[in-house]
Structure 1
Amino acid sequence: MLEKIELKNFRCFENSKITIKDLNIIVGKNNAGKSSVVEALRMISMATKKCTKTTYINAPKSLKLPLTIKGFRLPVEKLKIDLRSVIYYYKADIAKITAFFKNKTKIVVYINSEVAFATIVDKNEDIITTKRKAEMLDISSISILPQISIIKENEKRLSDATILDDMDTYLSSRHFRNEMFLFKKYYFNEFKKLAEETWPGLRVRDLDYNYSRSEYINLLIEDARFPAEIGFMGSGIQMWLQIIWFVCRSQGSETIILDEPDVYMHPDLQLKILNLVKSMFKQVIIATHSIEIISNVSPRNIITIDKKDRQMRFANHLEAVQNIVDDIGSVYNLSLIKLNSSNKCFFVEGNDIKILQQFYNILNPKGMHLLDSIPSLPLGGFKRLNEAFGASKLLYENSKGCFKCYALLDSDYYTDSQIEEQYRKSIENHLSLHIWRKK
């Protein structure tokens, strides 16, 4: 998996580093450099997939690299990456992107206005010179969602080589049915299952190609009992099915990257795709402006991109995330959004949630949710318990019983009769209260 990315003289970055965790939500103001980071990730992803399948050559002379360096060209034109302005303020001859992996290998991409050239470096700092040696390194594959668009109304059968060559490029949408037909026996059943589970009322009926009847591949979809070929369906369902297909065919990758999936979908679908990729992949990177996604992850997983920073920083607390939301131009209050989306909150002594999260991770190692994504309020003890009673009753009654509050407190040397009285009040005020037997 990825451990760190380093950008030198690349686009708007002079010399910046980005640490990568298991879950990473990348945010940033307009013109802060988020799109440039995504471009770098696209090139790294392409390199992970080409390194074991291509012939290694000497570096192009225009890069002015040592003759000992061998690697392979990246066809970035298929990613719609324009190299003419790739150098930071035109101050250097080349830009450099370095991806550090947890197994101590590296991918280094050298770029100028003419070419992007990737090299592989092993844990001993030796440069890999053949695809056979690259296979021995076991570099984890990285899958990044292509720039998807509306599906063609009709799609003729293409050669396997054409489909494979363009799968991770902007042409993927134009070859959607072809991809599915080529990999039908591997991913279609999983695609059908996930699509129907995540889109209410959807049925994936059939994927068919019979040249004697038609020169086109047909994907028959039924939405809310309305059957039609996918080319005649709305843009929303077309985009969603492309994302689900991408997720299904990327299951061999350890790392998955989504670039602004919120552009294509409603808020409820944004949360579905977030939870889906978290449950299926070891490492998730999502570049987004979505308040729904930002408000449903831990602050420690939100990283702000700023082209002026040498080291990109994670938010670490809710106030920092609120500042991020304000910076990107939103008027939303994250605390209220968290309350609304979770329909629950915790009242605790102080910094209890971090400790409870450790127990939760042990009891639910595959849990998709984080306790610190649920709103919590430190009471400091029994003295402010009446505030929790009032808030719990207000939220419960105004939500018609849908909102639930929980409190977890120390006994603070109170007598058994005093504690029993607090339990009685908690029932009256719809607060689920637990008091530790010891201080």
Structure 2
Amino acid sequence: MSLRITSIDFQHYKALKRFSIELERVNLLTGANNAGKSTVIGALRALAVALRTARARSADRVTVGGTRRLGYRINQRLLPISVENVATNYEDGESTVTFHLSNESELALYFDREEGCVLVADGPGSAVTTASAFRSRFPLELNVVPVLGAVEHKEMLLEEDTVNAALATPRASRHFRNYWYRRQDEFTKFADLVAATWPGMVIKPPELDFMSKELSMFVSEDRVDREIHWVGFGFQIWCQLLTHLTRAAPGSLVVVDEPEIYLHPDIQRKLLHVMKGLDAEIVLATHSAEILAEADPADVVIIDKNRRRAERLSDIGGVQRAVKVLGSQQNLVLASLARNRRLLFTQNPHDFLLLRRFARRLGYGELAAGTGLTSMSAGSLDRWERVRDMAEGVGVAAGSDLVVAAIWSREARPDAEIETILTAMRPSVGIAHVLRRWDLQAYLLVPSAWDRALQLELNKQRKAKPLGLDMEAILMEVTEDMREMVAEERATHRTRWLLESFGQAPDPRAPLETAPTSDDSFETSWRSPSERPALLPGARTMRRLNERILQLAGVTLSEARIVESMQPEEIAPDLCALLVELDKFRQIDV
């Protein structure tokens, strides 16, 4: 297992007088302006500089905390911060940032006006004195994306050592063509990633004018070639971001500070997917509501310098609260509509996020990023008649007619009611769809995927899997007492529908109309481990499953972890067909 940072403690360091943050695989740091996000990122940048120093020379005797210890004095000119103003409120005394590692070791940065910046390594085993011993004991890889800028108008060929020395500094933007000129064997993979994430743009490898020693690099857009300096600034920034991300080694920690500044909202969403696709840990500081809306709530960490600890969120409500902290305005929806002209109604905002997770698992990258779609909440299926009115009103506000799709949960409604609603909707709505299961979360009730997700979570937390844990058996056990509730809700909906439609109740001796299964018998379907999930309310069932595995294994599983653990063939055929429809809808000419 790769060495990783598990938590960071700050003492008397800038705005963080006493503060701690625990790190997981994905960490999206957010919070109000001046909350301390950049302070956390700055400490990681300082650690990256200190690691390069410790790997290059032997330890010295240094004074920290009033005692003499082995450590490394860091050249202050290389640090991304000024030691003079590190102390909280400019007070006297030592400031420290302690990085706790997964091998029970620690790396601590000490800041003192007299001593400067010092790195001290501590942990089990003998003292680390040589550069080789440090490299062996602390194989921690930090890939810190520097501040990015425009590429140079003219870029001359440079020595490789010069290019490498500037990779983690703001000078990296000035050497963009040189970087790829020296790594042409890796360029195809990079160019494919650019093409996949920025449709219509094809980047070509650098070319050298042997007479002038000047490098040029062309980008083709709609078969028109332009030198990269003359392409939009957002595209230049995106190419540089991808360049730094492709450098990330397996198991490394990738650190990025507010990359969204020059990026289109669609590209911001794609950035998170690209980063999560890396075999690396992620720390990303952001103000982007687009990125936060795309994230798994458990990945979002609120930084507030007035608290003692960072807060990791647990649900979608927490993400909405984080977006409010950022001061995001809802007129972003109208701006998105003006761009996309394709409006997708889902029962609630979370359904759109979960649909995109499934799309990503099936390889629909653009749909997974929400490209070309604007989502709004429609409420329950009882409000279906309002969808057309809402679409017309939003269309007027956006200044154009829109194409509209709508997706609702079935809950316990009978087929006849659903077909009547869909028949009324189809003339005016591009896609009118009611799920064949109770709700979208019901498509997550795949025991084999839960079993794999549980093993991954236990591995991450270095726990052993309890013997005999069978997710299919647990699913059947925790839902057995839900049978009467499910049957009663189905009967209630059927009775209401018949009364509304025909003015009479059904014959109580008639069998219950079943949810969509291959068998007309509710009892037979309920007894079947493969068919019961199609009858269950997914959100409620997931809560029960997580409560039980928390008791048995000490962990809970997020929706994102479950979807990532599903095999494509485990995603229900009707949901796969819906995603195909949505991907076509996303590309409709309007």
TM-score range, shorter chain: 0.7 to 0.9
- 2:35/2:305 contact within 8 Å kept: yes
**Aligned pairs (5 A) from 1:388-427:** 389-390=384-385, 402-409=404-411, 411=412, 419-427=414-422
User: What is the aligned partner in structure 2 of residue 16 from structure 1?
Assistant: 19
User: What is the aligned partner in structure 1 of residue 122 from structure 2?
Assistant: 121
Does residue 144 (structure 1) correspond to residue 144 (structure 2)? The answer is: yes
- 2:345/2:376 contact within 8 Å kept: no
Give the AA of the match of 1:405. Answer: I
Deviation, 1:309, is 0.9
User: What is the aligned partner in structure 1 of residue 314 from structure 2?
Assistant: 316
Deviation, 1:18, is 0.8
User: What is the aligned partner in structure 1 of residue 47 from structure 2?
Assistant: 44
**Aligned pairs (5 A) from 1:58-137:** 58-61=60-63, 63=64, 66-70=67-71, 72-75=72-75, 77-78=77-78, 80-113=80-113, 115-122=116-123, 124=124, 127-137=127-137
In structure 2, do the counterparts of structure 1 residues 338 and 201 end up closer, same or farther at CA, with 3 Å as the change threshold?
Answer: closer
In structure 2, do the counterparts of structure 1 residues 316 and 50 end up closer, same or farther at CA, with 3 Å as the change threshold?
Answer: same
User: What is the aligned partner in structure 2 of residue 414 from structure 1?
Assistant: none
Cα distance in 2, alignment partners of residues 314 and 156 from structure 1:
46
Deviation, 1:249, is 1.8
Query: 1:322-350 CA distances to partner (integer Å, 9 max, x unpaired)?
Result: 333333333238999999999353479xx
Cα distance in 2, alignment partners of residues 228 and 367 from structure 1:
29
Cα distance in 2, alignment partners of residues 201 and 271 from structure 1:
18
User: What is the aligned partner in structure 2 of residue 26 from structure 1?
Assistant: 29
Deviation, 1:99, is 1.6
Query: 1:168-196 CA distances to partner (integer Å, 9 max, x unpaired)?
Result: 012211222222223333x3222221122
Deviation, 1:8, is 1.0
Does residue 229 (structure 1) correspond to residue 227 (structure 2)? The answer is: yes
In structure 2, do the counterparts of structure 1 residues 98 and 64 end up closer, same or farther at CA, with 3 Å as the change threshold?
Answer: closer
- 2:346/2:406 contact within 8 Å kept: yes
- 1:304/1:312 contact within 8 Å kept: yes
2:323 aligned to which of 322, 325, 334 = 325
Structure showing greater radius of gyration is: 2
- 1:347/1:408 contact within 8 Å kept: no
Deviation, 1:134, is 2.8
Cα distance in 2, alignment partners of residues 225 and 140 from structure 1:
44
User: What is the aligned partner in structure 2 of residue 386 from structure 1?
Assistant: 382
Deviation, 1:90, is 3.6
For 1:306, what is the secondary structure of its paired residue? Answer: coil
Identity %: 22
Cα distance in 2, alignment partners of residues 367 and 230 from structure 1:
28
Does residue 175 (structure 1) correspond to residue 175 (structure 2)? The answer is: yes
Cα distance in 2, alignment partners of residues 120 and 285 from structure 1:
22
Give the AA of the match of 2:382. Answer: N
Cα distance in 2, alignment partners of residues 334 and 23 from structure 1:
26
User: What is the aligned partner in structure 1 of residue 486 from structure 2?
Assistant: none
More helix by share: 2
For 1:173, what is the secondary structure of its paired residue? Answer: helix
Query: 1:63-86 CA distances to partner (integer Å, 9 max, x unpaired)?
Result: 45633323x344453454222100
Give the AA of the match of 1:287. Answer: A
User: What is the aligned partner in structure 2 of residue 247 from structure 1?
Assistant: 245
**Aligned pairs (5 A) from 1:292-371:** 292-332=290-330, 343=344, 345-346=346-347
User: What is the aligned partner in structure 1 of residue 507 from structure 2?
Assistant: none
Query: 1:119-166 CA distances to partner (integer Å, 9 max, x unpaired)?
Result: 3334x2765322322333363412121011122222223333322222
In structure 2, do the counterparts of structure 1 residues 218 and 337 end up closer, same or farther at CA, with 3 Å as the change threshold?
Answer: closer
Question: TM-score, normalised to structure 2's length?
Answer: 0.61
Deviation, 1:111, is 1.7
Does residue 198 (structure 1) correspond to residue 194 (structure 2)? The answer is: no
Structure 1 runs not aligned, ≥5 long = 412-417
Cα distance in 1, alignment partners of residues 315 and 242 from structure 2:
32
User: What is the aligned partner in structure 2 of residue 285 from structure 1?
Assistant: 283
Structure 2 runs not aligned, ≥5 long = 396-400, 426-431, 439-514, 516-534, 537-590
In structure 2, do the counterparts of structure 1 residues 420 and 29 end up closer, same or farther at CA, with 3 Å as the change threshold?
Answer: closer
Question: TM-score, normalised to structure 1's length?
Answer: 0.79
Query: 1:235-281 CA distances to partner (integer Å, 9 max, x unpaired)?
Result: 22222221121111224453222211111211111112111111123
For 1:29, what is the secondary structure of its paired residue? Answer: coil
In structure 2, do the counterparts of structure 1 residues 391 and 55 end up closer, same or farther at CA, with 3 Å as the change threshold?
Answer: farther
In structure 2, do the counterparts of structure 1 residues 225 and 334 end up closer, same or farther at CA, with 3 Å as the change threshold?
Answer: closer
**Aligned pairs (5 A) from 1:152-163:** 152-163=152-163
Q: Which has the higher contact order (CA 8 A, sep 6+)?
A: 1
Query: 1:391-433 CA distances to partner (integer Å, 9 max, x unpaired)?
Result: 6666788796643313152x5xxxxxx7233333453353413
Query: 1:346-399 CA distances to partner (integer Å, 9 max, x unpaired)?
Result: 479xxx98xxx8xx89x95999979xxx999999xxxx7524x44666678879
In structure 2, do the counterparts of structure 1 residues 246 and 336 end up closer, same or farther at CA, with 3 Å as the change threshold?
Answer: same
Cα distance in 1, alignment partners of residues 292 and 195 from structure 2:
26
For 2:155, what is the secondary structure of its paired residue? Answer: coil
In structure 2, do the counterparts of structure 1 residues 331 and 206 end up closer, same or farther at CA, with 3 Å as the change threshold?
Answer: closer
